[in-house]
Amino acid sequence: MAADETLRVALGERGYEIRIGARLLDRAGDLLAPVVPLRRTVVVTDEHLARTCHPERLEASLARAGIAARRVVLPAGEASKSWPLLERLVEDLLGGGVERRSTVIALGGGVIGDLVGFAAAVSLRGLGYVQVPTTLLSQVDSAVGGKTGINSPHGKNLIGAFHQPRAVLVDTTVLDDLPPRELKAGYAEVVKYGFIKDAGFFAWLEEHGGAVLAREPEALAHAIRRSLEIKAAVVAADERETAGERALLNFGHTFGHAFEALAGYDGGLLHGEAVSVGMARAFDLSVRLGYCAAGERDRARAHLERLGLPTRIGRVGNRRCRPDELLAAMGRDKKVENARLRFVLVRRIGEAFTSAEVPEAAVRDVLGEDG
């Protein structure tokens, strides 16, 4: 078994370690003991995970370390990132007797991580929490960086807080039973890092992306590690997305969040699928505005399509969306500044930048071409 790897998110007193390795759930008690000051915790997971062995593995390991765990199980799916489920979770935590020094453990994908992190942020003015992500998307993206929140009918992740975890445990073996569609959706966030920051990593993915999706251990571990190295460096440089650097992580998301909002968060369109289409649209927009060569766009799209990721939205739900609808949804995004959308664009693979100087007509044309 390969040795664990540890990365650090350098945020001073809010900094924390990301541990990456195989079968970490079975060693979680010892690994997490330093960040669980009380000898009891709450493990929050969803109904899908509750039907697997993973919660029992985690709780057994905590018990061996002398940490008692109470389990809370929530409905699975993006629809759980809502006011009613946030209220339910917060009341459950308070009713269960959490204290200011309590630690909550989020065991699940991005939905559980975002929801638990936000509940921890607002309960008793801030509880500690740990991320134990169980999907590729959450392992390489949402579990790291402290963005927590829920969705609104007005858009995705519009209600939330920055609240950094105390630790992140990335057990690569929990991906063994992840459905192929979920794995591909997570891969969209992996390739995003190559598109925005590391052309060499993208070239590696062109050669080894198939092995990543085949869950070959060395390829999968490398993809996760490199993604997290980039994410950790960006977060350390711009924790609250005020300096511009962290905004690059939103590549494809301005489009993607609009697709998700119109789809209704019912599972018909996964976040990573929406981001994949959104990245294709961002490349199209970059080419249309003269920033990026068409060959770079074509190379990026070819890679996504070769690995089975969507590059066109077609229909959202059971209907085709008009550009006007999508523009309206995009206008409710968090990245609006002085009533103008800020887009993440590319000059070439590996070099992204942000711009608010994007004509609406160009965006409308790109959306109209989606088909």
DSSP string, 224-275: HHHHHHHHHHHHHH-TTS-SSTGGGGGTTHHHHHHHHHHHTSSSSS-HHHHH
In the annotation, is 197 catalytic? no
In the annotation, is 154 catalytic? no
173 and 185, same domain (yes or no) = no
112 and 204, same domain (yes or no) = no
121 vs 110: CA distance, rounded Å: 16
53 and 199, same domain (yes or no) = no
Which of 16-33 are b and which e, b meaning 16 or more Cβ less than 10 Å from the residue's Cβ?
bbbbbbbebbebbbebbe
Cβ-based neighbour number of residue 152 at 10 Å: 15
Cβ-based neighbour number of residue 83 at 10 Å: 11
249 and 141, same domain (yes or no) = no
In the annotation, is 208 catalytic? no
163 and 266, same domain (yes or no) = no
237 and 162, same domain (yes or no) = no
The predicted structure's pLDDT at residue 334: 65
- Catalytic pick among 54, 163, 192, 271: 271
157 and 200, same domain (yes or no) = no
- Catalytic pick among 81, 184, 253, 303: 253
In the annotation, is 147 catalytic? yes
CATH number of the domain where residue 201 is located: 1.20.1090.10
71 and 198, same domain (yes or no) = no
334 and 364, same domain (yes or no) = yes
CB 113 within 8 A of CB 143: yes
Q: Dig out the tokens for 313 from the structure.
A: 């939205």
| Owning domain of residue 118 | 5-177
In the annotation, is 338 catalytic? no
**Between β-strands 16-21 and 40-46, what pairing exists: parallel, antiparallel or unpaired?**
unpaired
CATH number of the domain where residue 173 is located: 3.40.50.1970
Tell me the average confidence (pLDDT) per consecutive run of 10 residues in the chain, 371 residues long. 88 97 97 96 98 98 98 96 98 97 97 98 98 98 97 90 98 96 97 98 98 97 98 96 90 93 86 96 97 98 97 73 86 70 95 94 88 54
pTM of this prediction?
A: 0.94
- Catalytic pick among 13, 125, 207, 318: 125
- Catalytic pick among 189, 206, 239, 296: 189
220 and 110, same domain (yes or no) = no
263 and 144, same domain (yes or no) = no
The predicted structure's pLDDT at residue 263: 86
Number of domains in the chain: 2
In the annotation, is 250 catalytic? yes
- Catalytic pick among 59, 78, 241, 260: 241
In the annotation, is 48 catalytic? no
In the annotation, is 222 catalytic? no
Tell me which residue has tokens 């029992």: 56
